[in-house]
Amino acid sequence: QMRRSLEVWKMGTVNYLEALKLQEKLASDRKALKITDTLLSLQHPPTYTVGKRETVHNLLIPDSELKAIGAELHYTQRGGDITFHGPHQAILYPIVSLRDIGLGARKYVEKLELTMIELASMYGVKAQVGRRCETGVWVDDRKIGAIGVRISSGITSHGLAFNMDPDLNYFKHIVPCGIADKDVTSLKKEADVELPAEEVIQEKLIACFVKIFGYSNVILKDKSKL
């Protein structure tokens, strides 16, 4: 078994567009073999993002009202529908070479789902994958984790967002992931145990990712001071 390395950047809270630019740069560096597989772990200020299908009709409030609720709207090149990112949500953006880890797109997404299912189970919450066409991770029919990935020349970007304890009211202004009759939930709402600090939960999410994707060598970088 080859020793596979992953560099993990712990970034704190990062503006969405900054994170987007960084992912583009890292993806092109990864493609050029300048860097090893890299994982960004962060949170965003309140942001709605639309995938490449541009399903902006699933945003239920006029653009002009976004400012009033303190949110931004951004268009991206990832798959998936409209989603919300905000404080108290654990986000992972893997910049990895699927060829190097021998995974196809479907298998890759399944492992991202497993990463969140594993994390939820650590706090006694039984999460599972959705039905056909429902990506992400669910507790019964409430969504606790979202996935939207981009794969270009075999290199991944974007990734997953797991709801630790975000303000769920933000989700009322969209049709989350284009599925109208489903609720959104959080670890805080579903867990019967006292949750540790969010930083600890984010650490655990990284650990689940490392385990499920089989990395043997992890290099941690604290980039939150950048």
pLDDT digits (tens, 9 = 90+) for 89-118: 999 999 999 999 999 999 999 999 999 999
**pTM of this prediction?**
0.94
Residue 155, both tokens = 């290199």
The domains of the chain are located at 5-225
Residue of higher predicted confidence among 181 and 25: 25
Find the catalytic residue in 59, 177, 184, 210.
Answer: 177
Res. 226: pLDDT tops 60: no
159 touches 142 (CB < 8 A): no
What pLDDT does residue 185 have? 96
Are 10 and 38 contacting, i.e. CB atoms less than 8 angstroms apart? no
In this prediction, residues 38-57 reach a mean pLDDT of 89
Give the separation between CA 221 and CA 34, rounded to whole angstroms.
Answer: 17
pLDDT at 41 over 90: yes
Residue 51 in marked binding region: no
3-state SS assignment for residue 127: coil
Domain 5-225 superfamily per CATH: Bira Bifunctional Protein; Domain 2 (3.30.930.10)
How does strand 37-43 pair with strand 5-13?
A: parallel
Only one residue has tokens 């976004």, namely: 66
pLDDT of residue 127: 97
- Rounded Cα–Cα distance for residues 117 and 128 (Å): 6
The answer to whether 80 is a known ligand-binding residue is yes
For residue 184, CA distances in Å to 105, 107, 146, 177 come to 25, 25, 10, 10
Mean of pLDDT over the chain:
91
Is 85 among the annotated ligand-binding positions?
yes
Residue 8 has pLDDT above 90, yes or no: yes
- The pLDDT-based confidence of 190 (bands split at 50, 70, 90) is very high
Residue 225 has a pLDDT of 62
Average pLDDT of the residues in 3-25: 95
When pLDDT is cut at 50, 70 and 90, the band that residue 175 belongs to is confident
Sign of CA dihedral 158, 163, 169, 172: positive
Instruction: Output the six-digit token pair for 114.
Output: 């497993």
Give the pLDDT band (50/70/90) at residue 179.
Answer: low
Q: How confident is the model at residue 53 (pLDDT cuts 50, 70, 90)?
A: confident
Q: Is 79 annotated as a binding residue?
A: yes
| 147 belongs to an annotated ligand binding site | yes
Residue 177 bears catalytic tag: yes
Residue among 93, 175, 162, 161 nearest 125 (CA): 162
Annotated binding residue 47: no
